[in-house]
């Protein structure tokens, strides 16, 4: 059986994804959490840690820091220093810390549609959230630079970037990143770059370029956020890290964490290192499977009246325009027909849907079949 077809049954396992619809005939394709088993080496390390029997406080081992530095150099040609890394128990936490650092600024700027915590985190710290709609060019969502140039800003306002972008799946090219970096530098802004999906590029030949790797000037104004959670399916273990080369900015980030943000648990450090050191073969196989799921889903969705799917260049998330269905709420409509998708209004885009492709082909086929039947019921 295919490595990504032999998936565990998550019902009754305190799963957020599957627990939402437990006891109902609704297939969960919503939250960004894959159904696949993690790499075998990660499972082995988790088993050993569980059998050890002591679950005390943890500390990040130097070998994990070395693994992050080695991986950054190999994957992104980006050379890091050890003291640039700060560890956190999750990406949402990290986004909120970024906003806390700049709570005295005028605004946090982000693009919509966007992962919901980008929209909620600024308000927790009294920041105005300025939402900049993305533009569609040749079937691909990208930055609206004309709108950026019209936007009023003040020095030290925060720009929050999702790179690659969740939910639309855009993998930004170097020219786009360089243009955005110059815009940020010209206005003396600070950048929070969430790069949690950076190892999930689906288009052959694409490589991820961290914003902070473009040069020292933009690096000095950037907080980069990364984690193994999306790539290696470890979201439940709460381990992410910020990379901040500017010493003063790093001290501010530490102060914003102080007394509030706990260290990741001991086991998560071990699993992160196992994933980074031994998970590459699994990752390559995962990308092949996700590409197959993407093409299968697009072929079915393109044949459904009222839906316009957009092919993701990265991530395992597929963005769908369902406004032509002319139903009050597309998410509720499909949920009522047995498919649980993410509601675009949570991302700042009512009438759209997000579909999680991180599931078995059989489950995806069943879900798409139900969606097709649901649309036919409208005729």
Question: Cα–Cα–Cα angle for 300, 306, 309, nearest 5°?
Answer: 50
Residue that finishes a domain, picked among 242, 260, 278: 278
Q: Sort 21 into a burial class: Cβ within 10 Å, 0-12 / 13-18 / 19+.
A: middle
* Structural domain contains residue 11: no
Residue that finishes a domain, picked among 248, 278, 308: 278
Q: What pLDDT is recorded for position 251?
A: 98
On the question of pLDDT at 247 being above 70, the answer is: yes
- Structure-token pair, residue 254: 């530490």
pLDDT digits (tens, 9 = 90+) for 286-315: 999 999 999 999 999 999 999 999 999 999
Residues 231 and 162 in one domain: yes
Residues 199 and 99 in one domain: yes
Residues 169 and 244 in one domain: yes
* Structural domain contains residue 4: no
Residues 114 and 208 in one domain: yes
Residues 312 and 267 in one domain: no
pLDDT digits (tens, 9 = 90+) for 123-170: 999 999 999 999 999 999 999 999 999 999 999 999 999 999 999 999
CATH number of domain containing 334: 3.90.1150.10
Domain, as residue range, for 155:
48-278
Using CA atoms, how far apart are residues 224 and 181, in angstroms rounded to an integer? 13
* Structural domain contains residue 234: yes
Residues 33 and 80 in one domain: no
pTM: 0.97
Residues 237 and 289 in one domain: no
Residues 337 and 191 in one domain: no
Residues 24 and 62 in one domain: no
CATH number of domain containing 258: 3.40.640.10
Whether the CB-CB separation of 132 and 147 falls below 8 Å is answered with yes
Residues 28 and 58 in one domain: no
Residues 246 and 334 in one domain: no
Total domains, the chain: 2
């Amino acid at each position: 059986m295919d490595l990504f077809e032999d998936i565990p049954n998550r019902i009754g396992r305190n799963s957020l994804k599957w627990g939402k619809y437990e006891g109902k005939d609704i297939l969960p394709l919503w939250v960004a959490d894959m159904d696949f088993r993690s790499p075998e080496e990660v499972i082995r390390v988790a088993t050993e840690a569980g059998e050890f029997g002591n679950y005390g406080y943890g500390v990040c081992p130097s070998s994990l820091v070395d693994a992050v530095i080695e991986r950054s150099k190999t994957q992104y040609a980006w050379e890091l220093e050890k003291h640039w890394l700060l560890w956190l128990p999750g990406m949402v936490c990290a986004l909120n810390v970024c906003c806390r650092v700049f709570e005295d600024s005028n605004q946090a700027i982000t693009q919509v549609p966007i992962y919901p915590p980008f929209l909620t985190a600024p308000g927790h710290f009294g920041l105005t959230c300025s939402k900049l709609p993305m533009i569609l060019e040749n079937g691909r969502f990208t930055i609206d630079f004309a709108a950026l140039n019209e936007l009023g800003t003040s020095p030290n306002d925060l720009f929050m970037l999702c790179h690659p972008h969740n939910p639309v799946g855009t993998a930004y090219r170097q020219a786009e990143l360089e243009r955005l970096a110059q815009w940020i530098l010209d206005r003396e802004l600070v950048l929070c770059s969430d790069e949690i999906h950076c190892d999930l590029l689906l288009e052959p030949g694409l490589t991820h370029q961290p914003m902070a790797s473009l040069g020292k000037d933009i690096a000095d104004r950037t907080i980069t956020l990364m984690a193994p959670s999306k790539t290696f399916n470890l979201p439940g273990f709460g381990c992410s890290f910020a990379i901040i080369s500017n010493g003063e900015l790093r001290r501010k980030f530490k102060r914003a964490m102080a007394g509030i943000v706990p260290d990741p648990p001991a086991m998560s450090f071990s699993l992160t290192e196992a994933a980074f050191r031994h998970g590459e073969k699994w990752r390559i196989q995962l990308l092949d499977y996700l590409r197959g799921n993407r093409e299968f889903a697009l072929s079915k969705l393109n044949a459904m009246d009222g839906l316009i799917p957009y092919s993701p260049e990265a991530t395992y998330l597929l963005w769908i325009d369902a406004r032509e269905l002319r139903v009050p709420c597309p998410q509720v409509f499909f949920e009522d027909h047995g498919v649980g998708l993410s509601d675009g209004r949570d991302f700042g885009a009512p009438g759209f849907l997000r579909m999680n492709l991180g599931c078995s082909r059989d489950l995806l086929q069943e879900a798409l079949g139900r969606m097709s039947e649901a649309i036919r019921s409208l005729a």
